[in-house]
Structure 1
Amino acid sequence: MTATGLEILLSDPRICLGRRIGLMVNQSSLTASLEYSWEALAKKGVKIERIFSPEHGVFATEQDQIAVGSKPTAGIETVSLYGNSEASLVPDRALLEGLDLIIFDMQDVGSRYYTYVNTLALTMEAVSGMDIELMVLDRPNPLGGELVEGPMLDPRFHSFVGMFPVPVRHGLTAGELAGLYLDHAKPDLKLTVIQMQEWERRMLYADTGLPWIPPSPNMPTVETAAVYPGMCLFEGLNVSEGRGSTTPFQLSGAPFINPMELADRCRSFDLDGVLFRPTWFRPTFHKFAGEEIGAIWLHITNPQLFRPFAAGVAMTAAINSLYGEQLQFLQEVYEFNDTIPAFDLLTGSSRIRTTILEGGEVQDILYSWQEEEGEFRRFKQPFHLY
C-alpha cells in the first residue's frame, strides 16, 4: 500500500514539535486507518494553532462557488479560504504572523481546475518573505503521473481555476506542483515536501490500496476524477455537468438534447477508451433542477487510452453542431471572474470555444494541443519526485 506524506510524517513528527503550525486540510486529510490528520498529529504531541479550510469547507459540506463560513474544527480555530470575495482566497497576513510552519494535506484530482492546489499556490505567495516554512504532505495523483493532456494555460486567462503553467491534466502530485510553482513564481519561502513511499508514476488510484474519500461534494468516486478533466468544461455551458445526480460529471445533459442523437454523433469521433451511453435523468438541484433531461453517461473502457479532456471538447462540439441555437457559453461570474467566459477560463484561452463556434473539425481541434503536451512532458521532468 502507498504510504502518504501524512503517514511518513506521523512515523517521525519531530520536525513539527514545539512549532506554531497552521494546517491546510479538509476531510481527505486522513491516515490509512481513516483518522483525521489533526487528531493523529495531536496524539503525537503536535499542536495545531489554526486550520485553514478550502473551497467546500473542512468536511466538504458546501457546493461549488458557495461561500464557506469559519467555525472551529475539533476545538481548533478554523479560517475559511473561500468566502464571498476574491480577497478571501488568500490567508490574511494577521492570521499568518506568529506561525512558523504551514502544512498542506489535501487530496488533489489531477486537473488544473481543481481549486485546492490553487489555494496552495496563493498561500505560497501570501507567506513569501515571512520566514514561514510550507510543508506539503504528498498524496497520489489519482490519474497517475505519466499521462498529460490538453492545452497550456494562456497567462492572460489566469484565475482561481488556472494558476499553474500546466496543461489541463498535468500528471503531477501536489508536492510536485508546489515545486513547479516555486520555480515559476519564485516566492521567498522554504518549501518542504514529505514524499510518499510505494508510489510510482504509472499507478492509478486503485493501485495504491488507499481508501477514496470524496475531497469535494461532487467528487464521490475515483471514476468521477477520471472524467473530470473534460466534463468540468460543462460548468461553462448551459448543460448540466451532472450535479444534482448521484454520478456528477459522468452524467451530463440538457432539456434540448436528444440523447440517442448526441450519442451517435459522439461515437462518430472514434475516441479511444470510452463509450457514450444515451440516457435521461432528473437533477435534484443545480441546473435544470426537477426537469427530466436528455443525457450522456460516459463509461471508461480503458483508462490508459481514455483522454477525458478530448472527450469533453468533442462533446461540446457535438452539442454545438446539433443544438447550436440552444447551446450557450455562460457569461456570468465564475470563480470571482466576471470578464472572461467560464469555458475559456477552464480551457485556458478563447481558442477552443472560438473554433467550436466557427464549426471547426473536431479532429483538428483535438490535435491542436498535441505539441504543447509534448513540450510539457519534457518541461515537467525536473519536478518529478518519483
Structure 2
Amino acid sequence: MKHEGHFSLKICYIIETYTYMTNYFFRFSLCFLVLACQGNTVPQFRVHPSDSNVRLSQDIFYEKVLPTMAGKKLMLATNPSGIGTNPKKIISSFEKHKIRLEHLIGLEHGFLGLEEEFSQTPVTMDSTFNRPLYHIYRIKDSELRELVKEVDYVLFDVQDVGMRCYTYLSVLKRLMDALKNTKTKLIVLDHIHVAMHLPPMGEKMNPKHLNFAGEFPSLLITGMTTGESAIFYNKEYLKESVDLVVIPVEGYKRGMYFEDTGIPWTTPSPNLPMVDSARNYLSLVLLEGVNVSVGRGTQAPFVYFGAPWMTNPEELASKLSTLGNKSYYFSTVYFKPTFGPHKGKICSGLRMNLVRPDYDPMLLAYELIRLMKETYPNDFKWSKGSVNHWVDQLWGSDHFRTAINEGKTYSEFHNTYLSEETNENKRIKPYLMY
C-alpha cells in the first residue's frame, strides 16, 4: 500500500509539473506575440513620401502645362519651396521647350530663401539664371506693370503657411494688381499648408495699420491655400480681370493634416526650417510684437522664445500648462539668437513642444502674451516702430493689444470679432478647391 501511495504522488507531481510548464509556455508565447505586435505598431509621426497619394502641383505643371508654353516668355516668382528647389530642372525644361525666362521676382527672403533681411536695392542680378531679380517690395507699381506686360506668363510657386502676415500673399496680390486687364496669363501652382484644418481666424487689416505683411484682404489666418486666395482675390476684388490658371494639388482632402499627406517639407524661409516651426508660427508670430526673441538665428526658430529678462521661466510655463487640452506644453530653454531682438545675448525662455496640431493658435497667442505681461510687469513691453506698434501691424488693428492692456479674457476679446470670422467663412467657401 505504501508503494501504491508513492506511485500516486509521483503521477500527481508529473501532471502538475506538465500543467505548470504548459501554462508557462503559453504565457511566454503570448507575451512574445504581444511584444512582436508592438514592435510592428511603432507610432508613425508622418506619412513617408513613397506612400503618399498626393500629387504635387509642380509635377502636374511639368507634365501637362509646361509643354503648352513652348516658345513663350516667362516671369518667375519662386524659391526652394517650389520649383526653385531644382534650378537645373527649370533651365533644362525651359531650354527643351524654348521658353525664355525674362525676369525673376524676388520674394522677401530672396530666390534661394536664405536672406534674413529685405534687399536694399530694387534689382539685383541672379547668378543661377543670369537674369535680373526684381524685388517686388522695392519697385514701383507702375514699373511692375510694365515688366509683366513684357512676358506671356507669370508663374507663381511658393509654399505659404495660411497667414496674411506671411508676406508671400502680399507678393501675389501685387502681381495680380499689375496683371489686371493685361494679356499676360498668371499661373499659380498650389500648395498644402499647415493651417489647412483651420477656418478664417482673426480680424481684417485696418487701413491705418496697412503694411507689406498685411496687404492681402483676408483675416489673419486666411482659411485658404495660395491658389484659393488667388481665385478669391481675382473674383472679389479684380472682377476676374486677371487671366488666371491655378494648378491644384491632386489627391488631397481638406482636413488632412500636412503630416498625413506625405508631402516633404521644403523650407520656404530661413526661420521655418521644420513643420513644427511653421505650426508654432501660427501663434508665436504675434510674439514679434513684444520685446522677446522668437529664436530667429537659432537652431529652433519659432520653437524657442525668450529674453535676458525672462528669469524663472518655469513660472510662465506653469501658467500656460492649463491651455490647449494637452496639444502642446512648454519647457525651459537657454539660447543665443544671432538675428533680431537680443541678438548675441543669452536668453532664458521657453520651448514650445507640439503634441497635436489641433490647437487654437489665436487663443494661445493671446493667453501667452497676456500671461507674459502679467508675470513680468516691469520688463514686458510692446515693441513699436516709428508710427505703429508691431503687433498692431501683424493683427491688423490695435484691438489685440488694447484688449490685453485692459485685462479682458480671451472669450471677451474673441466675441468682439466672432461675427467677422463667421461671415468670412461663408464668403470664401465658393473658392475652396479641396
| TM-score, L = length of structure 2 | 0.80
- Picking from 177, 192, 195, the partner of 1:140 is 192
Any idea what the Cα deviations from partners look like across 1:89-142, whole Å, max 9, x if unmatched? 886333223212101011111111111121010111112222211110111123
Tell me if structure 2 keeps the 8 A contact 1:30–1:36.
Answer: no
Q: Aligned to 1:343, which of 379, 391, 396? A: 391
CA shift in 2, pair 1:100/1:343, >3 Å: same
Q: CA deviation at 1:317?
A: 0.8
Map of 1:267 onto structure 2: 321
Please tell me whether residue 186 in structure 1 is matched to residue 238 in structure 2. Answer: yes
Change (3 A) 1:5 1:303: same
Correspondent of 1:375 among 419, 423, 426: 423
Q: Which residue of 2 aligns with 1:23?
A: 76
Alignment of 1:329 with 2:377, yes or no, is no
Q: 1:74 corresponds to which letter in structure 2?
A: T
Pair 1:239-2:292 in alignment:
yes
The SS at the match of 1:167 is: coil
- Distance apart, 1:287 and its partner CA: 1.6
Q: Secondary structure at the match of 1:202?
A: coil
C-alpha separation in 1, matches of 2:411 and 2:178: 42
- Structure 2 alignment gaps of length 5 or more: 1-51
Letter in 1 for 2:364: A
Give the counterpart letter for 1:174 in structure 2.
T
Distance change >3 Å, CA 160–CA 272, structure 1 → 2 = farther
Instruction: Choose which of 413, 425, 434 in structure 2 pairs with 1:365.
Output: 413
2:44 maps to what in 1? none
- Tell me which residue corresponds to 1:354: 402
Question: What is the CA–CA distance in structure 1 between the aligned matches of 2:336 and 2:142, rounded to whole Å?
Answer: 37
- Aligned twin of 2:151: 99
Structure 1 pair 268–202 and aligned structure 2 pair: CA distance change class (3 A): closer
Task: State how far apart, in whole Å, the 2-side matches of 1:283 and 1:89 are.
Answer: 36
What whole-Å deviation, never above 9, does each CA across 1:215-253 have from its counterpart, x for those lacking one?
111010111111112111122211111112111111111
Q: Which residue of 2 aligns with 1:290?
A: 344
Instruction: Give the CA deviation at 1:254.
Output: 1.2
Which runs of structure 2 are paired with 1:3-152 in the superposition (5 Å)? 3-12=55-64, 13-30=66-83, 38-39=90-91, 41-42=93-94, 44-45=96-97, 46-65=99-118, 67=120, 70-82=124-136, 85=138, 87=139, 92-152=144-204
Cα distance in 1 for residues equivalent to 2:425 and 2:126: 42
- Give the letter for the 2:133 counterpart: V
Aligned length: 377
Residue in 1 aligned with 2:4?
none
Equivalent in the alignment of 1:335: none
More helix by share: 2
* Structure-2 separation of matches of 1:140 and 1:348: 25
The answer to whether residue 263 in structure 2 is matched with residue 215 in structure 1 is: no
Query: Match for residue 362 of structure 2?
Result: 309
The residue that corresponds to 1:249 in the other structure is 302
Q: Deviations over 1:163-212 (max 9, x none)?
A: 23322222311110001111232163211111221122112222222221
Structure 1 gaps of 5+ residues are 333-337
2: CA distance between counterparts of 1:240 and 1:233? 11
Q: Kindly provide the CA deviation profile for residues 339-366 of structure 1, in whole angstroms up to 9, marking residues without a partner as x.
A: 3221001111111101111222244335
Counterpart amino acid of 2:193?
N
Q: Secondary structure at the match of 1:62?
A: coil
- Residue 80 of structure 1 aligns to a residue whose secondary structure is strand
Question: 1:237 corresponds to which letter in structure 2?
Answer: V
Larger radius of gyration: 2
Q: Residue 165 in 1 paired to residue 213 in 2? A: no
Residue identity over aligned pairs, in percent, reads 27
Residues 41 and 47 of structure 1 are in contact (CA less than 8 Å); yes or no, is this contact kept in structure 2? Answer: no
Distance, in Å, in 2 between the alignment partners of 1:307 and 1:138 is 25
1:269 Cα offset (Å): 4.4
Secondary structure of 2:203's aligned partner: strand
SS of the aligned residue for 1:149 comes to coil
When normalised by structure 1's length, the TM-score is: 0.89
Q: Structure 1 residues 148 and 299, CA, compared in 2 at 3 Å: closer, same or farther?
A: farther
